[in-house]
Chain A
Amino acid sequence: MKTETRRPLELVCPAGTPSALRAAIEAGADAVYCGFRDETNARNFPGLNFSREEMKSSIGYAHSHGAKVLIAVNTFARAGDLTPWLSAIDDAATLGADAVILADMGLMSYAAKNHPGLRLHVSVQAAAASSDSINFYVEAFGVKRVVLPRVLSVPEIAAVTRNASCETETFAFGGLCVMTEGRCSLSSYATGQSPNMNGVCSPASHVSYRQEDGVMVARLGDFTINRSSADQPVGYPTLCKGRFKTGVGEGHIFEEPVSLDVRQLLPALQNAGVTAIKIEGRQRSRAYIKAVVHAFREALDALADKRSVPISSLAPITEGQSVTGGAYVKTWR
């Protein structure tokens, strides 16, 4: 068998605010991804994201600490009104971002043409699930990295990476889309607001809770997403993690409210040839970011030193307080 020395996995961490960015870097992030404060990024939540000024100083801070900043412009631009998206790309280039993360072919085309020096990463929202798709983006736009959708098992990731003509990045921790990212309109069906168009999923503005005979009813728009009795935790009504009824049965028909945690699989992902691993959660607190990044830094350092990977418990801070290997483990399907 061929043995080769793998480069250490790059740890890509989320930041919703400049202070979260600093916390991530202090805790050992190799790169931080973040977005401008508007609908050009897929975490367009109130109170989150960066002004141009904040982005500039944050990039300065990151670079002085040897970390990279990747700017996500990963929603799909609004027809007839492309300006916010084009200026986000222009400003990312001007401010010295290490890469932009894009999902929209129209925007990739613009960036490749107008900013040939700007490094392009394909967002998970572009759903490039095979090496054929990845190589299409490489050929068309010269992209340097693709973030893989969370639909592949580890052997599939290895095969895709082997045949891909650019780097791959996979999700390692945090919220788990059960649907292929960037190809889901469930949220807009219920609320009119979608990840692709508005950068939000199951938005808080459309969430309501109601007490009904000792039962807490969590609703999204006009639809009940869950009902919990007094002894059950009341979760946020993310549409695909809700409980529903069918003629066959009822329950979490799509997915339980669980989080992804792949620390057990890190050696396998490294052997699969993956370049970087990504932590989800730009909407998360500074404390959360610090704890998760720190745990992954420890794990990656152990991996690099060929020690066994320490798995400290992160369960208490995760969605649903339980974790899964997701599609990385084939029986998940």
Chain B
Amino acid sequence: MSRTTLTLGPLLYNWPAADWRDFYARIADEAPVDTVCIGEVVCSKRQPFYADVIPETIERLERAGKTVILSTLALPTLDRELKYCGSLAREASQMIEVNDISTIPALAKRPHAIGPLINVYNEAAAAFLIAGGAARIALPPELPLKSISAIVAAARNAVIEVWAFGRIPLAISARCYHARLHGRTKDSCQFVCEQDLDGLDVETLDGERFLAVNGVQTLSYSYCNLIFEARQLESLGVSALRLSPHTCDMVAVSQIFRDVLDGIREPSHAMRAMRTICSDAAFSNGFVHGTNGALYVLE
């Protein structure tokens, strides 16, 4: 049986360039992840701030033996955004992760990765994309185990990846909610999303912790945590688990996932460690269990 690998997903939040660079430097040096996705997925306006440190980051990660994948925008609509995604897809020497259909034609069927924001809900969609050059498919986070299992069974010739840690991307919009909350619009945002390094918490009027806002993106308040399901996913044939970066210790998080997959740490022990590392986070696993994504289902 093939060994399930770990993928560090793209950093979805607006971090200062120095923090961005330091984060990936530490990942390169210390995190037991096999694949690292980097690049701006949420808002093209953020990219200029860290564009300069991307090349050295790629180099450092590759030197450390990581496979680097370049993630692309989830909702490119402006001309310059579409052109940028297209030229990256045509010219990059790293594999591209597609997060919007518009980026696919520029790949001209070269091997690529399909990101979790592309709707692959079944084996027929997976087969179509694989025939078009998809070598990796990160499944939408709302898929239940039954669907994951049916897709994995039918798509043996691609790496199938499951969202396993971090706030769950739930929606993308043309409207920037960070800007709206600050009484601004997307065009006049003044980059207020930089104040919330893990997204801005959203509660209900009754104080229930519910969602998180990250610019044009809406995520779950809870952090998906599939540490208890990791071995089951491996036995189903899921070939990679995706860990989404947060300000908590991602080296420790990835080490815990690696240890559980390698059978050297029990999931219950791992869960206790995760609670210490992400002391502020609420965990959820409802989606893979086919129920409300917000729930944590005890097996």
Contact = CB atoms under 8 A, between A and B. Distances in A.
Interface of A: 76-82, 103-110, 126-130, 132-133, 135-137, 139-140, 151-152, 156, 159, 178-180, 182-186, 188-192, 194, 196-197, 217, 221-227, 240, 242-250, 253-255, 327, 330-333
A224 B206 contact: yes
Interface of B: 74-77, 79, 82, 86, 100-106, 117, 119-129, 132, 140-143, 146-151, 168, 170-177, 179-182, 185-187, 200-208, 210-211, 213, 218, 220, 286-287, 290-294
B257 to A, nearest CB: 23
A185 B141 contact: yes
A329 to B, nearest CB: 11
Interface of B is mostly: mixed
B151 to A, nearest CB: 5
9 contacts: A106-B126, A130-B100, A132-B105, A180-B172, A182-B119, A185-B168, A244-B204, A248-B181, A333-B187
A80 B147 contact: yes
A253 B172 contact: no
Contacts of A179: 171-173, 218
Contacts of A249: 181
A189 B121 contact: no
A76 B117 CA distance: 14
A134 B66 CA distance: 35
Contact of A79 (B150, B202, B208): B150
A221 B202 CA distance: 16
Given A151-B77, A254-B218, A185 B170 contact: yes
A331 B185 contact: yes
Max chain A C-beta neighbours (<10 A), residue from B168, B185, B206: B206
Contacts of A197: 121, 142
Contact of B122 (A104, A130, A188): A104
Given A110-B124, A189-B294, A333-B186, A178 B173 contact: yes
Contacts of A180: 75, 171-174
